[in-house]
Structures are given as C-alpha cells and as structure tokens.
C-alpha cells in the first residue's frame, strides 16, 4: 500500500496477552501519540493448547481480559480473528484480511518489541508482510541501539521493510512476571488494570494446577524478600526460618506454616511509618487505639512492623492462613495466650544462629527441652533489654510476661 495515499493510521498490537497488562496499554497510548494513530487493534493470537504447570487462560478469557483492559479507550479495539481462526495462525493471513476489511485508505503500523525485530524475517512470508505494514519497534531497557539500527537497515535493504523506532519509557512489565506472581499467591494490581486483576481472581487463572492449596511458593517469596530487604535483614530472615522449621519439627507444629511465617515475619521491617499504616488499612486489619497511642507517645512506630508484616503477607504474598498471619503480627510484642506457631516464630527470631547476647546459649539449650520455658526466658531477655536501654514496655508484652510467670497452670 502506498502510505502517501493513506488517510488513516492504524496501529496493531499482536501477542498472546496472557494476560494483557498495563505495559501493553501504555505502549499503545505512547504509539498513538508519537505516530498519530487513529486506532489501535489488539489482536490476541490463537495458540495451540499444550500442557503447562499452571492454568493458562483460554482464547475467550484472553479476549475478555483485553476487552476489559481497553475500556475507556474508544480508539483501542479488540479483534478476535486470530482466536477464532482454526489451526495455526499467521500474521500474513491476518494482514491480508485486515487489508480487505479496511481498504486503501488505511496505513498499518505493526507495533513490536525490539526483540521481535531481530527475528522478524523468520515470520512466515515476511516479504509479503513487509509490503502490507510498517513497523514500530519499541526499545527495551538495555537495548544496543546501534545494532538495532543496523538490523532495521538490513531489513529495509532486503525486503523494503519500513521500520520506525519508539522510545517509550514506561515500566517494564511482562505477562510471565504477572503469571508467576499470581501463581505464588501475590498481588498484581500494580501491573494489570483493576478489571483484569478482578477477572484473574474470579476465574482462578494462573494458579498451580497440581494442588489447589499449594500456593506458597517459598522460592519465589525468598527471591522477592531478597529484593526488598537489606542483605543483613535477609540473612536474619533465612536464619530465623531455619530455626523456626527446626523448632516446628521438634514440637509438632506444621513446618510449612513455620517456614511461611518465619520468611515473612520481617517483610515490613524496612517500611516507613506511612507505608506500614497504609498496608494495614489496605488489608482491612486493625491496630488497637492503645498501640497507636503507645507508638505516638514514645515515638516507636517500629513495633508496627508486626501487624504491617501480616498485612503485607496477606496482600503481597497471598497468605490467608490465620495462624501464619497471627504469628507474623505478634512476633515483636507477643501477647497472652499465644498459639504454638506464635511461640515458635517469636523465639526463633530471638534465638536464630546469628544472634548474640549474654546467656543466649542457656536459652537455646532450654528451648530444646521446653518451648514454654524457652519462651519465658526470651520474653525476660526482651524486658531486660528494654529496661537497660531505657525504652517503654508495651502492655501486651507485659501481659505475656505476667502470664508466663505468675499464672498457676
């Protein structure tokens, strides 16, 4: 088609869109502005079904998520032709159909990533495709731009391909990253539009299929913790996990739950005050007025990292188990009537291998024989420390201390 005669410019976004995410929408918005596009078509590919370890979305589901994502963008249109087409779908067929449907008044701009650009001449009938559409290649972070320019020049020479580069600088999001986060039980609302987020949850997409309950992906959690915590805190977290799992096995507590709670116990420790209060609110959890007043009066908002950690465990890591959430929430202050898992996490945090304080060896020995006695000694050590460093004692910690020492069992 002769682009001089074309009055209208049509952008084409192809891909599996499994799922569509905010990056796709932002790239389409960018291309619309930068290249004066009148309309952008989102064309999810058809895809031969094959077995995977997580449940991928079907064609209808991918179409539906695209429709939800483009709501509010009158110039973005979802095109279902490739999902509907039987058998393997090829871009060359799609382009021919589009040409018939739109006629000579339209010039097409196929929007691709620069990774695709480098292999694009392996597309079926690429010489024909190159005659039917121009390309907008969107730079990705870390691209060797000179090399890409050479690649574009070669395609131009060999096939007459017309390639433009787009310097979109938005967040780098991938569908794989979204699927992995969902599979490990985390939240993806920062990466996908709200309506898509809701759709993924309602339709239980991207969950592990083997065992519906096994959404605690400790490897994925550990990787995330490594990214958000300081190296020292991360190492402390791993040592707390080791100690917690050992104690759990010794005292007949669920080792998976101990591992989960220990890994996440300090996940909010490095958050700012506002961030902690925010995540607690978002999770629909509450901190007592007494505790908030205690923090305010003594300027010690740090103790909120317990409840904030439980809130983040719920929202960011998808933990729903009340025992795990309780153990995280109370690991700093402690409270009367703690459960077995609460006790394991509280003590593992204080006794893990990297800790050193006078008398720790005796307490480590004691806890191997009696969890409650170990707990009592740990709480006592905490009290001593607060007194020595002239810090206030929270009523809940005091109540635990009294329960452990002065209640007749």
- What is the contact surface with Fe ion in residues (CB under 5 A)? 266, 349
Q: Which CB, 163 or 267, lies closer to Fe ion?
A: 267
For residue 53, count other CB atoms closer than 10 A to its CB: 9
CB 316 to Fe ion: min, Å: 17
Q: How far apart are the C-alpha atoms of 167 and 31, rounded to whole Å?
A: 9
CB 347 to Fe ion: min, Å: 11
Q: Is the peptide bond before 19 cis (omega within 30 degrees of 0)?
A: yes
Q: How far apart are the C-alpha atoms of 211 and 213, rounded to whole Å?
A: 6
CB 269 to Fe ion: min, Å: 5
CB 286 to Fe ion: min, Å: 20
Q: How far apart are the C-alpha atoms of 200 and 213, rounded to whole Å?
A: 17
CB 361 to Fe ion: min, Å: 20
Q: Which CB, 131 or 355, lies closer to Fe ion?
A: 355
CB 382 to Fe ion: min, Å: 12
Q: Which CB, 18 or 266, lies closer to Fe ion?
A: 266
Q: Strand order of the sheet with strand 106-113?
A: 76-78, 39-44, 8-15, 106-113, 134-138, 163-166
Q: How far apart are the C-alpha atoms of 172 and 225, rounded to whole Å?
A: 20
Q: How far apart are the C-alpha atoms of 72 and 119, rounded to whole Å?
A: 34
φ, ψ dihedrals at 398, nearest 5°: -65, -40
Q: Which CB, 197 or 349, lies closer to Fe ion?
A: 349
Task: Specify whether the CB–CB gap between 6 and 104 falls below 8 A.
Answer: yes
Q: Is the peptide bond before 385 cis (omega within 30 degrees of 0)?
A: no
Q: Which CB, 303 or 371, lies closer to Fe ion?
A: 303
CB 328 to Fe ion: min, Å: 9
Q: Looking at the chain, how many residues does it have? A: 409
Extract the runs of DSSP E, i.e. beta strands, from 284-355.
none
Q: Which CB, 18 or 349, lies closer to Fe ion?
A: 349
Q: Measured between alpha carbons, how far is residue 322 from residues 62, 341, 407 in Å?
A: 34, 11, 26
Q: Which CB, 61 or 266, lies closer to Fe ion?
A: 266
């Amino acid at each position: 088609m002769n682009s001089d005669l074309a009055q209208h410019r049509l952008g084409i976004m192809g891909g599996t869109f499994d799922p569509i995410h905010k990056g796709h929408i932002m790239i389409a918005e960018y291309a619309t502005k930068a290249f004066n596009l009148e309309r952008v078509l989102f064309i999810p590919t058809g895809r031969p079904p094959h077995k995977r370890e997580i449940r991928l979305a079907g064609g209808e589901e991918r179409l539906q998520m695209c429709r939800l994502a483009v709501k509010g963008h009158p110039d973005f249109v979802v095109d279902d032709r490739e999902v509907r087409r039987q058998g393997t779908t090829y871009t060359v067929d799609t382009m021919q159909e589009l040409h018939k449907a739109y006629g000579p008044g339209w010039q097409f701009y196929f929007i691709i990533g620069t990774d695709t650009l480098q292999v694009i001449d392996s597309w079926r009938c690429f010489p024909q495709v190159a005659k039917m559409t121009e390309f907008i290649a969107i730079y990705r972070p870390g691209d060797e731009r000179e090399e890409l320019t050479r690649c574009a020049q070669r395609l131009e020479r060999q096939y007459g391909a017309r390639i433009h580069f787009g310097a979109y600088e938005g967040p780098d999001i991938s569908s794989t990253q979204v699927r992995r986060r969902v599979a490990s039980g985390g939240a993806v609302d920062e990466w996908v539009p709200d309506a898509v987020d809701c759709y993924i949850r309602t339709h239980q997409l991207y969950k592990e299929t083997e065992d519906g309950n096994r959404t605690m992906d400790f490897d994925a959690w550990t990787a995330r913790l490594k990214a958000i915590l300081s190296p020292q805190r991360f190492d402390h977290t791993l040592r707390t996990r080791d100690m917690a799992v050992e104690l759990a096995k010794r005292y007949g507590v669920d080792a998976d739950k101990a591992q989960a709670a220990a890994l996440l116990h300090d996940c909010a420790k490095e958050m700012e005050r506002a961030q902690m209060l925010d995540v607690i609110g978002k999770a629909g959890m509450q901190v007592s007025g007494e505790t908030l007043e205690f923090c305010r009066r003594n300027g010690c908002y740090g103790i909120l990292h317990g409840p904030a950690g439980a809130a983040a465990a719920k929202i960011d890591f998808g933990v729903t188990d009340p025992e795990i959430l309780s153990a995280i929430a109370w690991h700093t202050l402690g409270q009367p009537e703690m459960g077995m898992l609460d006790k394991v996490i509280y003590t593992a945090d204080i006794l893990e291998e990297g800790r050193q304080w006078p008398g720790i060896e005796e307490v480590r020995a004691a806890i191997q024989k009696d969890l409650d006695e170990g707990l009592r000694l740990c709480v006592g050590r905490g009290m001593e420390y607060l007194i020595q460093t002239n810090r206030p004692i929270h009523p809940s910690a005091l109540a635990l201390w009294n329960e452990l020492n002065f209640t007749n069992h």
